Amino acid sequence: MSNPLVKRIVVMGVSGSGKTAVAARLASQLNYSFIEGDDHHPRSNIAKMSSGTPLDDEDRRPWLERLNQLITESQNPIVLACSALKESYRQILSEGAPNLTWIYLSADQSLILNRVAARQEHFMPTGLVASQFRDLEEPAYGLKLDANKPIDQLLPKIIEHIETKESKKVIGLIGLGVMGRSLALNLLRNQQSLAVYNRAEEQELIKDFELRSQGKPVDIHLDLASFVKGLETPRKILMMVSAGRAADLVVDELLSHLAPEDIILDCGNSHYRDTEARQAKCQSSNVHFLGVGVSGGEQGALWGPSIMVGGNQSAYQQIAAALNLIAAKSSEGASCANYIGKGGAGHFVKMIHNGIEYAEMQLIAEIYGLLQPEYSLPQIAEIFSSWNASDSESYLLGISAAILRHKTNDEFTLQNILDRAGNKGTGSWSSQLSMQLGVPSSMMTSAVYARYTSSQKSRRVKLEAQLGPKQAPNRAIDLDQLHRAYDAARWINHAQGFELIYTMSEESGYEINLSVLASTWTNGCIIRSRLMQRCQSIFKDHSTLLDHAGTLQHIEAAQDDLKDLCKMGIDLNRPIPAHISGLSYWQQITQAESTADMIQAQRDFFGAHRYQRRDDPTTSYHTEWE
């Protein structure tokens, strides 16, 4: 990994803009190492350009990757001269090398034509100048200078820009609650240039962060104006505040201090529609607002979360390198921070992540309930651990085994926890959306209702006292069968969750790549698992899990096991709503015929809502039933 503290400057522009001369003089004046990007073109690229054929993205990729390697491996300050015409090229150069300083030499086409024509012994012919300008995507960041000015006039401006940049912090973070503090410490551990702001009245949070960040170079602000002023432009500010009204207040106050092209990243659990409203508000001030889903809890935020970004993609590219540094890494070494899609896509998928999470947690809780009292807590822990060593491996299954083993004062901690589940609303948001879209998400919805039912503890106690405890017959439990049923239910849950994401993406134009999203969820987040790794592979070629023959065969092979688990739960009087809803969905979605003909007849009988006939499904009919 590169050292983020090593200073790196890129002087960019079209061929003939003077970037080589400027970069060489700048490196000499600063006593930095100089890298001429053109010297590292493969011979095939030079031959292609010499023949008058412009390079395409495929030609440029190995060249850019080589330059990125030189940048990241250098232990000395460097100045690189490189055209870096497109934002995607600049992203390749920035990978693993955050905090690059960009100097853009701007020129008109006539000036470049004259310069290129006058050059000798250079492989770039005048015929390729037009292609350079066609490819050019001017950066919205860095220092833009007139390439027609003499170098002696340009250098003082560049040095002043560098000195100003070095006196300011690169990233700002607002809010030092549990998640904000953890993300800040993660950024500092990865040597990011950081300033933080927190309300002065929350002294305990500030003192705790000061203690934990001791010795780290971080600026702590109690005044928002000074915090914003101390950040380099365009400013990149991570917002870690409560969703809803609190987030609105912070955004409103921030906008009075920000400038065009600044970037706000809302890393809280905001509703995606609120995010889109804030994006529209910020857009009127030419400020970028990114909705960022962050999953992994306190430890994930501290050591490597899953990060889902939605909004303006070019704004994301400006902070992608820093996010990649602090994010979890997949088993293949890829960052679990990714651009997910347009608008509120980042917070939308975080919401569905939590809906899937609700059902995953409920499935484990139901298995735990089925195994009691026949199995002790340590025995159930062993069962979960053995499953976790198989294809059923998941973060939630692993922590459930640890929970079952944990003791406080020689007593199992779990036995003293009140059976009343809390929730923060994201699960119910997912269920509400599924109903609006008409996409079944029965498993996450049943898990939400199970939490609501658990919260009615006093009523449950009263009703059991009134009716008497449920008597459960003895029944042998086949652990292998139970495992297969649990595994099948998890596949159904993921199928429902991703179906909801796919449908919403299509309807809202989010353009979510499901394989990239699944990759983002392979580590760092709460629903990371071996199943998610399978999903990543499946979504490279399929839009839904139920379009994949292997998934269908896997669930179908375990259907009888899932039926027997549901029968067992009923016989033993142990509620298993998530497993039952999963089985019911599977039975409905895999049968050509349903009982909806009766529903349609009933609707027409009492409300004249009309229906379609089997032999004429495009025409509406009404029957006078009485």
Catalytic residues, by residue number, are 350, 357
Contacts 24+ apart (CB under 8 A), 448-455: 448/358, 448/423, 449/577, 450/362, 450/421, 450/575, 450/577, 450/578, 451/358, 451/421, 451/422, 451/423, 451/427, 454/419, 454/420, 454/421, 455/420, 455/421, 455/422
Beta bridge partners of 101: 9
Beta bridge partners of 80: 10, 35
Residues 538 and 532: their CA atoms lie apart, in Å, by 10
SS (H, E, C) 78-133: EEEECCCCCHHHHHHHHCCCCCCEEEEEECCHHHHHHHHHHCCCCCCCHHHHHHHH
Q: Which residues contact 481 (CB under 8 A, 6 or more apart)?
A: 561, 564, 565
Query: Where do runs of H (alpha helix) occur along 200-344?
Result: 203-212, 224-229, 245-255, 272-283, 297-303, 313-326
The DSSP H or E segment spanning 306 is: strand 306-310
Q: Residue written as tokens 């008058």?
A: 52
Q: Which residues contact 191 (CB under 8 A, 6 or more apart)?
A: 3, 4, 5
The tokens describing 168, both together, are 């300011």
Evaluate whether 330 touches 517 at the Cβ level (below 8 Å).
no
295 SS3 class: strand
Evaluate whether 12 touches 103 at the Cβ level (below 8 Å).
yes
Longest dimension (CA), the chain: 98
Q: Side chain identity at 388, as an amino acid letter? A: N
Evaluate whether 263 touches 290 at the Cβ level (below 8 Å).
yes
204 SS3 class: helix
Q: Which residues contact 269 (CB under 8 A, 6 or more apart)?
A: 243, 347, 350, 424, 426
176 SS3 class: coil
Evaluate whether 301 touches 273 at the Cβ level (below 8 Å).
no
User: If you write DSSP's letter for every residue of 31-56 in order, what string do you get?
Assistant: T-EEEEGGGGS-HHHHHHHHTTPPP-
Phi, psi of 13 (to 5 degrees): 155, 170
Residues 484 and 481: their CA atoms lie apart, in Å, by 5
